[in-house]
């Protein structure tokens, strides 16, 4: 069954995009390899992380991670593969919010309230 890769939650109150830099030490690829979630010859092309409903006592649920892998040994081979096929291997696993955060050196999320698509929009901010 064909799917579209994007971030989705139940109500979509906020939506936008994200950017991240790989961690210097344990990247998401290394995390997956250490746990047997990636095989030799797999190339990680996409990842989605989400968490569930947090409770009033501020308990944070684990991250649910979906990784998309293609059979390729390097970047160029992965690009060539995806130019010819939309078939990927999907791997799902849980990790703590701290493990998720540690997999990235820097992580940025930009979201707009529903109906206000601010992505890529220029703006001038007034000082308070």
The pLDDT tens digits for 53-64 are 776 777 778 899
Q: What pLDDT is stored for residue 54 in this prediction?
A: 72
**Structural domain span for residue 88:** 14-54+61-113
Q: With contact defined as beta carbons under 8 Å apart, do 44 and 82 qualify?
A: no
Collect all residues with Cβ–Cβ distance below 8 Å to 49 and sequence separation of at least 6.
63, 64, 65, 66, 100
The pLDDT tens digits for 33-92 are 999 999 999 999 999 999 877 767 777 788 999 999 999 999 999 999 999 999 999 999
For the CA atoms of the chain, what is the radius of gyration? 17
Is residue 9, in this structure, part of any structural domain at all?
A: no
Specify the number of domains making up the chain. 1
């Amino acid at each position: 069954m064909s799917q579209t890769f994007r971030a989705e939650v139940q109500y979509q109150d906020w939506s936008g995009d994200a950017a991240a830099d790989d961690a210097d030490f344990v990247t998401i690829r290394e995390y997956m390899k250490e746990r047997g979630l990636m095989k030799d010859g797999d190339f990680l092309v996409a990842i989605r992380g989400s968490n569930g409903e947090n409770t009033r006592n501020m308990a944070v649920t684990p991250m649910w991670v979906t990784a998309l892998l293609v059979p390729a040994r390097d970047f160029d081979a992965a690009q060539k593969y995806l130019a010819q096929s939309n078939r990927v291997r999907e791997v799902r696993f849980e990790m703590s919010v701290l493990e998720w955060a540690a997999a990235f050196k820097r992580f940025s999320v930009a979201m707009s309230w529903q109906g206000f698509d601010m992505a890529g929009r220029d703006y001038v901010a007034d000082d308070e």
